[in-house]
Structure 1
Amino acid sequence: MSTTDDDLPPPMQEPVGVPPSPALAPQHEAVLAQLAREFLRERRVERRWRTAFRLFWLALAALLVYSVWLQGRLVTPSTAPHTALVEVRGEIAVDSDASAELLVAALKDAFKDQGAQAVVLRINSPGGSPVQAGIVHDEIKRLKKLYDKPVYAVVEEMCASGAYYIAAAADEIFVDKASLVGSIGVLMDGFGFTGLMDKVGVERRLLTAGENKGMLDPFSPEDPKQRAYAQAMLDQIHQQFITVVREGRGKRLKETPDTFSGLIWNGEQAVKLGLADRQGSLDYVAREIVKAEEVVDYTPRENVAERLAKRFGAGVGAGAVKTLRELAPIR
């Protein structure tokens, strides 16, 4: 069958006013391909980081659960005769390993254990808060009376200031001949910057409601009346410390003008002054005094998960959670 020109469709025409679509140049295609590859690579890296974060926090949670379970199994009440140990290490302060909260909890567990024949405080501390030390001292006296169990203090390197405040509640204090014992005193320290401020031309502007609200402000001149008030307060706390030592040591204490001056003595001198009773270690006390050679440690200790959590900090955890929420879900 033959066709004519009239039978053919009309030729395609470009729309009026629309330029023809040029083909992409080879270099443009290469750029787009590179961008696509980079995008895919970033998405893969992003997914890997999300997965790593999730696995990390999952592992940390599992470790925390395991540590809590394990810690619960480490110290369990035992009917077998033993010596109960509570460590007093480092600064006695809130949020420290030797805080009143932790020490009191450990002491309660130790005294309650029927197998514990006596409680031994192994001390290596320079002291700290008189409030925290006082809480522990009073709790020891209460528990001694409640459970009728002896308490012994064993000093390692140092038992000074607030640490000796705690040790004074013990029935006997054992030391090494080179231990450092004493420092029965109270201090309040600070700095004064008024002379330096005058030299550099800095003016202190302090507004208070209450004439003594800015007492002992380091950037203001010292007020004699406020200084006298602070000194009287320290003297009262010092007297409380002295009373505790006298009650705890009784007739064994051989007072001298230096006993409550804040001086510190070695273990041999401390025994002569009646600040300690005799030389001896933890093993000696458990074996020869308590007659229960097995030692069970009731000291609360940080587990691995708690150390990790403190190291990374709450801020890191919050930041990680925020990042995970902002990232797109895994596809």
Structure 2
Amino acid sequence: MTEPQQPGSPGSDKSFPPSQDLWSQSAAPSGPRSAAQEPGWERATLEKLAFAALNEQRSARRWKIFFRFAWLLLIAALVFGAMRQASTGASKSTPHTAVVDVKGEIASGAEASAEFVVAAMRSAFEDEGSQAVVLLINSPGGSPVQAGIINDEIVRLKAKYNKPVYAVVEETCASAAYYIAAAADEIFVDKASIVGSIGVLMDGFGFTGIMDKLGVERRLLTAGENKGFLDPFSPQTEKQREYAQAMLNQIHQQFIAVVKAGRGDRLKTTPETFSGLFWTGQQAVEMGLADKLGNLDFVAREVVKAEEIIDYTRRDNVAERLAKRFGAAMGIGAAKALTSAGPQLR
């Protein structure tokens, strides 16, 4: 009987080399080696990660440099704007007509505030080249306090520098705006301008009737019996109304005194002059509230005799505008809401 041949014996199959391990042969991969089995794959992976991290750092550094450069440009623009604003007035040696705008609401924090207008007027008066100061007015009025400060400063600066002040009215010069114009040596208007409104008001709302209908109870605690008399949700007593009216009458008399002092004998007083009515520019000239018809160019050319016009108006710089736009305006609005119940010349 023939015994089976053993692998590796002299008579065994030639396809199996004597030194070949069948198990290791079957376990070996038949295709090409995977990337993870290539020699040095760990190092290649680490290099890729390192390069990726380096690229990310470079990108972050570029963005950081970009933002820093943008901030530098913004700061440079702000500095340039401030320097340009500070240098308003150009050549001091050249004779010119100085102009200061009084436009919009006359109120604290506005462009027509006493802070801005007074600062501009001081610069205009101090300039040796300015032959006269023109207040270019287009305003419906505003705060009697702000207008009073500007009026007093006009009187003081005129006496100190011995330079004339002219008011030139565009569309409107009413109430607090006329309070300011009254201090000028002469007032020039367009025939269709709105001039006057010499009066005082205090406005607000009362919601007590609506609250009663809705069954809403107002719970207001105060220390002082009159502390909340301007509260729109509380009833107003006759005593409180009389008190507020007396205060308005006093401010009205102050307004009248300023107009009479500024206009003097030119004012042709009638029962309606100080009633709060307003008139066209042509009517204002006839009533003595204004002197002549004319615009800014006419006054500079024919009255001041200095045709070159230089604007001294103080305006918000870029930083202030951005601050007001992105948050500060909300605070200003809240402040105005709290003070809106005060006396107004408008």
TM-superposed deviation, 1:199: 1.2
Give the alignment of 1:150-189 within 5 angstroms: 150-189=164-203
Q: What letter is aligned with 2:108? A: V
2:141–2:176: 8 Å Cα contact kept in structure 1? yes
Give the alignment of 1:194-205 within 5 angstroms: 194-205=208-219
Q: Which residue of 1 aligns with 2:342?
A: none
Q: Which residue of 1 aligns with 2:129?
A: 115
Q: Which of 261, 285, 291 is the matching residue for 1:271?
A: 285
Q: What letter is aligned with 2:160? A: L
2:174–2:195: 8 Å Cα contact kept in structure 1? yes
User: Match of 2:87, SS?
Assistant: helix
Q: Which residue of 2 aligns with 1:85?
A: 99
Q: Which residue of 1 aligns with 2:220?
A: 206
Give the alignment of 1:248-259 within 5 angstroms: 248-259=262-273
2:118–2:150: 8 Å Cα contact kept in structure 1? yes
Q: Which residue of 1 aligns with 2:81?
A: 67
Give the Cα–Cα distance (whole angstroms) in 2 for the partners of residues 314 and 254 of structure 1.
46
2:133–2:163: 8 Å Cα contact kept in structure 1? yes
TM-superposed deviation, 1:52: 5.2
Give the Cα–Cα distance (whole angstroms) in 2 for the partners of residues 196 and 49 of structure 1.
58
Q: Which residue of 1 aligns with 2:160?
A: 146
Give the alignment of 1:1-331 within 5 angstroms: 53-76=67-90, 78-313=92-327
Q: Percent identity?
A: 71
1:64–1:306: 8 Å Cα contact kept in structure 2? no
User: Match of 1:74, SS?
Assistant: coil
Q: What letter is aligned with 1:270? A: A
TM-superposed deviation, 1:235: 0.3
1:125–1:163: 8 Å Cα contact kept in structure 2? yes
Q: What letter is aligned with 1:210? A: G
1:216–1:223: 8 Å Cα contact kept in structure 2? no
Give the Cα–Cα distance (whole angstroms) in 2 for the partners of residues 83 and 76 of structure 1.
12
Q: Residues 224-276 of structure 1, C-alpha deviation per residue, up to 9 Å, x if partnerless?
A: 10110000000000000001001111111111111111111110011111100
Give the Cα–Cα distance (whole angstroms) in 2 for the partners of residues 213 and 306 of structure 1.
35
Q: Which residue of 2 aligns with 1:22?
A: none
TM-superposed deviation, 1:74: 3.3
Q: What letter is aligned with 1:88? A: V
2:88–2:311: 8 Å Cα contact kept in structure 1? no
Q: Which residue of 2 aligns with 1:6?
A: none
Give the Cα–Cα distance (whole angstroms) in 2 for the partners of residues 132 and 175 of structure 1.
23
TM-superposed deviation, 1:95: 0.6
User: Match of 1:215, SS?
Assistant: coil
Q: What letter is aligned with 1:130? A: P
1:60–1:305: 8 Å Cα contact kept in structure 2? no
Give the Cα–Cα distance (whole angstroms) in 2 for the partners of residues 181 and 254 of structure 1.
15
Q: What letter is aligned with 1:204? A: R
User: Match of 2:136, SS?
Assistant: strand
TM-superposed deviation, 1:45: 8.3
Give the Cα–Cα distance (whole angstroms) in 2 for the partners of residues 244 and 132 of structure 1.
14
Give the Cα–Cα distance (whole angstroms) in 1 for the partners of residues 62 and 228 of structure 2.
55
1:77–1:113: 8 Å Cα contact kept in structure 2? no
The TM-score, its normalising length taken from structure 1, stands at: 0.79
- Which has the larger displacement, 213-222 or 75-84? 75-84
Give the Cα–Cα distance (whole angstroms) in 2 for the partners of residues 110 and 52 of structure 1.
42
User: Match of 2:111, SS?
Assistant: coil
TM-superposed deviation, 1:49: 6.2
Q: Residues 59-81 of structure 1, C-alpha deviation per residue, up to 9 Å, x if partnerless?
A: 22121112122223332461221
TM-superposed deviation, 1:313: 4.3
Moved over 4 A (4+): 38-53
* Gap change, CA 1:49 and 1:119, over 3 Å in 2: same
User: For the pair shown, which has the larger CA radius of gyration, 1 or 2?
Assistant: 2
- Which has the larger displacement, 55-64 or 92-101? 55-64
Q: Which residue of 1 aligns with 2:23?
A: none
Q: CA RMSD in A?
A: 2.6
1:124–1:157: 8 Å Cα contact kept in structure 2? yes
Give the Cα–Cα distance (whole angstroms) in 1 for the partners of residues 89 and 303 of structure 2.
23
